[in-house]
């Protein structure tokens, strides 16, 4: 555990001073005015409720073009205000991810000063579009401390997006608008989901080799059989522990294991479109690459169905049984497996 830096102490100190200030403002309300104050509060709460309760979930992704928020004072000001209320404790005054709470959190809050975020529908590592920032802020990231800000009015959300981008103003000003990764049509929907899961398992373990970073969910014999059936040549070599995620480091210097879908919460949720979007886009600043273009769309969607099928097992007895089966599998003999293959052909 690293010790508290003077900067953090300073940050905590200034939070405290603000707290004290707020408390003394509270006491300035004269008792005579308390009733007026109360009814004002009720009115404001009602207004907030009306404003946020009708929030549409289906806000259109294409509605907001790249850099469409003006950086006019009013938007930024509004964003700064909201940021200081809701976000500063984790993401920090300077947007560098070092708010007073940050040292207690794992994963760490994002540093906004490079402009790159993890979950954007662009090639991993490129600047996000407003829509990406909106989606992450609205929905939060499951399994992390990043909350879902579902009930913020649109205007506040717009202000927050503009303010968050202002921490990397140079990057956003100098970079040309770039292609958003748009979802291709799901070729399996409505008829072939089960088939997609089977195809996805083969692609995951033997073609795209997601299992080079993420854990494998098949016994070695099963990987051999499946790769033989799908692609003709049976896989006989495996990394040292194929049932653990490989640890790599992020661009910001954290160590990060490729998640085990059987136990980790998917940060973007288990909806098929969310899983697909993460796979095709990749994850900015991390080892998780962009898969758009590397495989045909049909295979990318199959991968999404396969990963989703594993993620949905999380916490069930089937998950336990699968883990137990993998742990207790018979030793795999590549020489024997190969000999059997040659004997057949």
Tell whether residue 215 is a contact of ligand HEC (CB under 6 A).
Answer: no
8-state DSSP, 3? P
Selection from 124, 146, 151, 140 nearest residue 286 by Cα:
124
Binding segment (CB under 6 A) for ligand HEC, from list 14-22, 68-76, 171-179, 205-213: 205-213
Tell whether residue 223 is a contact of ligand HEC (CB under 6 A).
Answer: no
Would you say 78 or 91 has its CB closer to ligand HEC? 91
Listed in sequence order, the residues at least 6 apart from 236 whose beta carbon sits closer than 8 Å to its beta carbon are 224, 334, 337, 338
The position carrying tokens 């898969």 is 291
Give the three-state DSSP class for 175. Answer: coil
* Candidate list 11, 124, 136, 202; residue touching ligand HEC; CB under 6 A: 136
How far apart, in whole angstroms, are the C-alpha atoms of residue 10 and residue 100? 9
Tell whether residue 208 is a contact of ligand HEC (CB under 6 A).
Answer: yes
8-state DSSP, 203? I
State the number of binding residues for ligand HEC (CB under 6 A): 46
CB 76 within 8 A of CB 166: yes
* Candidate list 94, 287, 322, 341; residue touching ligand HEC; CB under 6 A: 287
User: Minimum distance between the CB of residue 227 and ligand HEC, rounded to whole angstroms?
Assistant: 15
Tell whether residue 202 is a contact of ligand HEC (CB under 6 A).
Answer: no
User: String of b and e for 237-261 (b: at least 16 CB within 10 Å)?
Assistant: ebeeebbebbeeebeeeeebebbbb
User: Minimum distance between the CB of residue 337 and ligand HEC, rounded to whole angstroms?
Assistant: 24
In the Cβ-directed half-sphere of 131, how many Cα atoms lie within 13 Å? 16
How far apart, in whole angstroms, are the C-alpha atoms of residue 304 and residue 286? 19
Binding segment (CB under 6 A) for ligand HEC, from list 21-29, 50-58, 88-96, 218-226: 88-96
- Two tokens at 63? 């509605």
Tell whether residue 137 is a contact of ligand HEC (CB under 6 A).
Answer: yes
* Candidate list 201, 262, 266, 302; residue touching ligand HEC; CB under 6 A: 266
* Candidate list 76, 122, 127, 141; residue touching ligand HEC; CB under 6 A: 141
Would you say 302 or 326 has its CB closer to ligand HEC? 302
List of residues contacting ligand HEC (CB under 6 A): 86-87, 89-91, 101, 105, 107, 109-110, 117-119, 133, 136-137, 141, 144-147, 149, 160, 164, 208, 210, 212-214, 248, 256, 258-259, 266-268, 275, 278-279, 283, 286-288, 291, 303, 307
């Amino acid at each position: 555990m690293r010790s508290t830096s003077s900067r953090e102490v300073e940050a905590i100190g200034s939070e405290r001073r603000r707290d004290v200030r707020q408390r003394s403002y509270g006491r300035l309300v004269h008792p005579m005015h308390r009733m007026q104050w109360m009814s004002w509060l009720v009115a404001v709460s009602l207004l907030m409720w009306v404003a946020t309760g009708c929030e549409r979930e289906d806000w259109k992704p294409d509605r907001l073009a790249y850099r469409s928020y003006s950086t006019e004072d009013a938007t930024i000001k509004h964003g700064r205000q909201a940021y200081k209320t809701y976000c500063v404790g984790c993401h920090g005054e300077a947007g560098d991810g070092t708010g007073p709470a940050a040292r207690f959190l794992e994963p760490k809050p994002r540093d906004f000063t490079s402009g790159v975020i993890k979950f954007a529908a662009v090639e991993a590592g490129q600047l996000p579009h407003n829509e990406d920032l909106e989606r992450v802020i609205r929905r939060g990231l499951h399994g992390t401390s990043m909350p879902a800000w579902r009930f913020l009015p649109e205007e506040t959300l717009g202000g927050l997006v503009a303010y968050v981008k202002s921490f990397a103003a140079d990057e956003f000003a100098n970079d040309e608008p770039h292609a958003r990764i748009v979802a291709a049509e799901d070729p399996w929907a409505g008829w072939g989901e089960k088939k997609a899961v089977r195809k996805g398992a083969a692609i995951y373990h033997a073609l795209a080799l997601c299992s080079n970073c993420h854990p494998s969910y098949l016994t070695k014999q099963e990987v051999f059989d499946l790769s033989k059936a799908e692609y003709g040549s049976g896989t006989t070599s495996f990394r040292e522990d194929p049932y653990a995620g490989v640890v790599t480091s992020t661009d910001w210097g954290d160590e990060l294991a490729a998640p085990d879908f059987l136990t980790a919460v998917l940060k973007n949720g288990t909806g098929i479109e969310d899983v697909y979007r993460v796979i095709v886009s990749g994850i900015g600043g991390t080892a998780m690459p962009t898969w758009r273009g590397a495989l045909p769309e049909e295979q990318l969607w199959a991968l999404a169905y396969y990963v989703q099928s594993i993620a949905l097992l999380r916490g069930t007895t089937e998950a336990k049984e699968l883990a137990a089966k993998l742990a207790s599998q018979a030793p795999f003999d590549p020489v024997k497996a190969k000999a059997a293959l040659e004997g057949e052909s």
